[in-house]
A and B are shown apart, each in its own frame.
Chain A
Amino acid sequence: MRPDAVRGHLDGLILAVLEDGPRHGYAIIEALQTRSGGALELPTGTVYPALRRLERAALLSGTWSTVGGRERRTYTLTRAGRHALANQRADWSEFSAVVDAVLRPAAGRPAAGMP
């Protein structure tokens, strides 16, 4: 999948992979790749500034903590982040349903406008 296509949805994707629990940066990247079946070809360096942006917006909280014997910056979804994720899901469902309805081949569409 083209990086440009993913970029506009990156914040929502990050919020979604943090829904299960706290993760550090590289674990978030691995989760994005695993959950997309390896289809996301985003430069990994774009994820770290996005995490800071989400943290600045209070959707994530980030702290340095020891994970596996190493100091890592670990991110947790905040209450505002869960709310933003729910909104993003609803927006995406509505958007994808509309686009799908328009893009669907004419043969698969119910007939309309004829008596």
Chain B
Amino acid sequence: MTVTDPVDRHLAELERRLSGPSRTRRSMLREARDGLVDAVAAHRRCGLDAHEAAAKAVRDFGSVREIAPLYQDELVARQGRSAALLLLVVFPGLTLGWGMLWRLGARWDSEPASDLVVALARLQDTASAVVAVVALVLLAVTFRRAAPARQVAVLVSLTGVVGAVVCGGTGLVMNLANGSAGRELVEANPYALPAFGCSALLCALVLRSAVRTLLVAGSPVPTAPER
């Protein structure tokens, strides 16, 4: 279809340069296509033939080298925001969930917890709270138009990695330090096994989101307009 060829080519080239949340990316490209189709129609009303109208619409749109960094910055900002939102839900959720489990009568064992386990539990709670606060601050920063999207996304990723490693790691060490208490807890409380599974899944989700955000934030894009 020769009429839309320049538009299709331009958008395909733009799409190749972009990485980030697929829903936002698709929506942005669809909006760009709508705008280009409108521009072609407007140029045709002014008397240009189909190919000239499409070529002019593409020229007016700007080169991919010039436009792609603007699109990519926005995609990075959106990726950083959703990663921050995930941290804000997961870490307080884990603290709340385990708190409920203990209130439902779960116990490690009849003996008082060792000093190491108590210290690790405190560290886990503190780490969760710190991650949630940092995520909230970074989420608020994404509402600023001038916020450095890449730096914010990297900070969100690092916060997620540290949170998942500290909380997941302390959970693991607590279970090992308590000997068979973990198995006894699972046998005694029907909610314990889903809670362990859920916690592991959420930590994995946080790590996956952090890696994806780092990749999007680090994606190379042209920074200078072509001459």
Interface residues of A (CB under 8 A from B): 11, 24-26, 29-30, 43-50, 52-54, 56-59, 64, 70-73
Determine chain A's interface SS by DSSP, over half rule.
Answer: helix
B38 touches A26 (CB 8 A): yes
B31 touches A56 (CB 8 A): no
List A contacts of B81 (CB < 8 A): 56
Interface residues of B, CB < 8 Å — how many? 28
Determine chain B's interface SS by DSSP, over half rule.
Answer: helix
Please measure, in the bound complex, the distance between the C-alpha atom of A56 and the C-alpha atom of B145, giving whole angstroms. 8
* A37: min CB distance to chain B, Å: 17
B8 within 8 A of A: no
B28 touches A48 (CB 8 A): yes
* Residue ID in chain A nearest B143 by CB atoms: A57
Interface residues of B in 29-71 (CB under 8 A from A): 30-32, 34-35, 38-39, 42, 60-63, 66-67, 70-71
* A98: min CB distance to chain B, Å: 22
Neighbour of B144 across the interface among A25, A29, A43, A57, CB < 8 A: A57
B199 within 8 A of A: no
Neighbour of A44 across the interface among B35, B142, B145, CB < 8 A: B35
B150 within 8 A of A: no
Q: Could you name 24 residue pairs across A and B whose Cβ atoms are closer than 8 Å?
A: A25-B38, A26-B34, A29-B35, A29-B39, A43-B67, A44-B61, A45-B61, A45-B66, A46-B62, A47-B35, A48-B31, A48-B35, A48-B71, A49-B28, A49-B71, A49-B74, A52-B24, A52-B28, A52-B74, A53-B145, A54-B145, A56-B81, A58-B143, A71-B34
